[in-house]
Structure 1
């Protein structure tokens, strides 16, 4: 007899997803503060893509492996996905505490690798966790709630950067440390470490997991009896088998993701350098402005994420997703040409709508078409589709910006907008 998942209340889905706020606070710091920190420590524009190699590589290796391993994990006390949340959050929190103390560029880059391992360990099972818990009728709502917390976490990260720069940045020049990392930036990283571990703990304590069926438990127990080497290779075999059996929709989504995530990586790496060029301001002022802008688009995401649910039901997930990509393209192409301090936030509304759709709708569509027993590995494969374009961007965009785009951050942002438009088409 097939198990019918019970519908969850609004607050149950809220508690289940709130841990994503802490994970995304950490990602918000990466998006806005890490590349300026690299610049403070001496990195040049054409070096930034390669210095961000940690995200794609760790995502490519960690997420599908953790997904496959968590599919075959069960502890009556700790559950299936939740142990990985906790391990990832602990690693991420320790790295956030250490990051602003980086004495040199190589040290900061190394910490970014470890931080991304922690974040990816926590994030991938979280996607599968929502699919595990919710019936199909609530999947879109569940993933859009997750999208809400994506926005909320990044909003808090970026607004903390903006506020700390505004409150403490002006009087800091005389006490600047040898590393050139502003001391006001430390506070955002400390807050991120606290948010990462506490929100994950809230979700873990408030949300019980659904136990595996008798058949799933039998498979898990048989797996434990396999020789160590077989158990080590099994997740890799599962990943390759799942890719070979992947639904056609996921192959089409991979093509869209190639352009979408390449564009996003261009935006995250070059928004602060672009503001230095387009608004003719210093690096610290540009970092504060970029934080406020990134916080604004994620605030729009937080407000609009759940509003997309009825629209997706009325017009279809696909149409809303395509519209969101076109709006993101308009946002990036227009940004460098806006010189007004107020009007420059208008494109952030468009990007916020796009980000809300990107972080929820594709996962809902995939979760509906993949086998429940392989949901973890398939969510890992979706995240491979994210990090492979990022990897391509990190190794190709340095020469592109240096030799084709005249080492201009403005041209880098416009380039990203064109790629968003291609993704929509």
Structure 2
């Protein structure tokens, strides 16, 4: 017998939604600092542009392994005080904070790659149960709003985190120049602030939000006991691919192209802007580090737009439908991303970030809302973890092929890969047409 939830979940107030989602504000400090600064850190420590996708592989490979396991474990966890998902929120926050203090103090390229692995694993331990949290606690009519609230906090956290290096440079006159091949102080201090924000925000959700216990705790524990063991867990995790709901299979192709586009953007934007706008690929130069700061501003813009769009998208989806909303957002994002290739003035780079922000808001909201309506409640965490395969596999493929494609077909120019990223995002949008949205039909 699987864990059962009450058939009718009460609608939560605005502040209850706020508290249960606030942890994402801190989690996104980790992801935003990672996305905006990892290529900068690797380049400063000696990596060349064509090798950056390979060094980034540590992040998606970690997600591939961690999220299904954490989803499975959290589905089969219950503690009278900690609940079901919150133990993983808190443990991940502790580990991620440690990693965020270590990352900017890396003394070699390989140390930075190892710490990226550690940091990404820890962030994933916290993040994956948050997705299942919405399915656990919210009535289907509130699930889009629940994911939108998460997206709002993702946007807010990302804006502040992405701007931190620039804030330290311009407000506090902190050095933005690498000394003896080390990471600039602006980046180091940004990661320190991010680590503290991560721990504080996740702790707020852990303290303020309670979880719904199993209806029959004895039956639940007996079922967990029966399914204990590494081999049983491995069989269930691998077996999940053969039992995925049809909607989840359809969303997989949408997710593949969306996240391949995002990975390409995160890896290549810093060297692309440095070359196309600041005229250098020398990572030790002040111009390259200034480009790194400006990329933080760009990423702050798209995350700020996503925070606003998170509250607009549910209203648009109600007037049209979730599929058409997602299609439109991804096409807008794809065109915007590709347009960066043609821009040589740094201020103009902020305009396409508006379109990217609209797409980012939809990527973080709509697919998960559609998915939550198609999944069995007792296996929500597990299937959310399995779905993450279609988030990280495109990143792994991108890490393997982007460097050779850039060198062989795109003249080794990082900015040219953003054209490819834009095309992938638009394709993801078009594939949304083929998704069956059962939750929306039911509501």
TM range, smaller chain: over 0.9
Shift of 1:95: 0.6
Q: Deviations over 1:88-122 (max 9, x none)?
A: 11100001011111111111110001101101111
User: Who is 2:237 aligned against?
Assistant: 239
**1:37 paired residue among 36, 41, 63:** 41
CA distance in 1, matches of 2:174, 2:138: 49
User: Who is 1:87 aligned against?
Assistant: 91
Q: Kindly tell me: are residues 217 and 285 of structure 1, through their superposed partners in 2, closer, same or farther at Cα, counting changes over 3 Å?
A: farther
**1:363 paired residue among 332, 354, 368:** 368
Contact 1:169 1:182 in 2 (8 A): no
CA distance in 2, matches of 1:413, 1:168: 33
CA distance in 2, matches of 1:95, 1:200: 16
Contact 1:63 1:380 in 2 (8 A): yes
User: Who is 1:50 aligned against?
Assistant: 54
CA distance in 2, matches of 1:24, 1:341: 25
User: Who is 1:418 aligned against?
Assistant: 423
User: Who is 1:409 aligned against?
Assistant: 414
CA distance in 1, matches of 2:240, 2:32: 31
Number of aligned residue pairs: 419
CA distance in 2, matches of 1:217, 1:157: 44
1:5-404 matches, within 5 Å, as 5-167=9-171, 173=177, 176-214=178-216, 217-224=218-225, 231-281=229-279, 282-404=287-409
Shift of 1:130: 1.2
| Unaligned runs of at least 5 residues, structure 1 | none
CA distance in 2, matches of 1:220, 1:390: 37
Contact 1:73 1:80 in 2 (8 A): yes
* Deviation larger for 60-69 or 276-285: 276-285
CA distance in 1, matches of 2:201, 2:362: 23
Contact 1:223 1:231 in 2 (8 A): no
Contact 1:238 1:377 in 2 (8 A): no
CA distance in 2, matches of 1:217, 1:284: 58
Shift of 1:165: 3.0
Q: Deviations over 1:143-175 (max 9, x none)?
A: 0111111111111111112212334567565xx
* Deviation larger for 79-88 or 280-289: 280-289
Shift of 1:404: 1.5
CA distance in 1, matches of 2:379, 2:219: 15
| Unaligned runs of at least 5 residues, structure 2 | 280-286, 431-443
CA distance in 2, matches of 1:17, 1:288: 29
Contact 2:176 2:289 in 1 (8 A): no
* Deviation larger for 251-260 or 28-37: 251-260
Contact 1:104 1:179 in 2 (8 A): no
Q: Kindly tell me: are residues 222 and 341 of structure 1, through their superposed partners in 2, closer, same or farther at Cα, counting changes over 3 Å?
A: closer
In structure 2, the residue corresponding to 1:42 is in which secondary structure? Answer: coil
Q: Kindly tell me: are residues 400 and 3 of structure 1, through their superposed partners in 2, closer, same or farther at Cα, counting changes over 3 Å?
A: same
Q: Kindly tell me: are residues 119 and 275 of structure 1, through their superposed partners in 2, closer, same or farther at Cα, counting changes over 3 Å?
A: same
> In angstroms, what is the RMSD of aligned CA positions?
1.6
In structure 2, the residue corresponding to 1:305 is in which secondary structure? Answer: helix
Q: Kindly tell me: are residues 241 and 294 of structure 1, through their superposed partners in 2, closer, same or farther at Cα, counting changes over 3 Å?
A: same
Shift of 1:272: 1.0
Shift of 1:238: 2.1
Contact 1:168 1:184 in 2 (8 A): no
Q: Kindly tell me: are residues 217 and 114 of structure 1, through their superposed partners in 2, closer, same or farther at Cα, counting changes over 3 Å?
A: farther
CA distance in 2, matches of 1:360, 1:347: 20
CA distance in 2, matches of 1:336, 1:166: 28
Shift of 1:225: 5.6
Contact 1:177 1:183 in 2 (8 A): no
User: Who is 2:440 aligned against?
Assistant: none
CA distance in 2, matches of 1:266, 1:350: 16
CA distance in 1, matches of 2:414, 2:44: 16
* Deviation larger for 200-209 or 393-402: 393-402
In structure 2, the residue corresponding to 1:370 is in which secondary structure? Answer: coil
Q: Deviations over 1:316-361 (max 9, x none)?
A: 1100100111011111111121233333211111111110000011
In structure 2, the residue corresponding to 1:306 is in which secondary structure? Answer: helix
User: Who is 2:436 aligned against?
Assistant: none
Contact 1:102 1:179 in 2 (8 A): no
In structure 1, the residue corresponding to 2:388 is in which secondary structure? Answer: helix
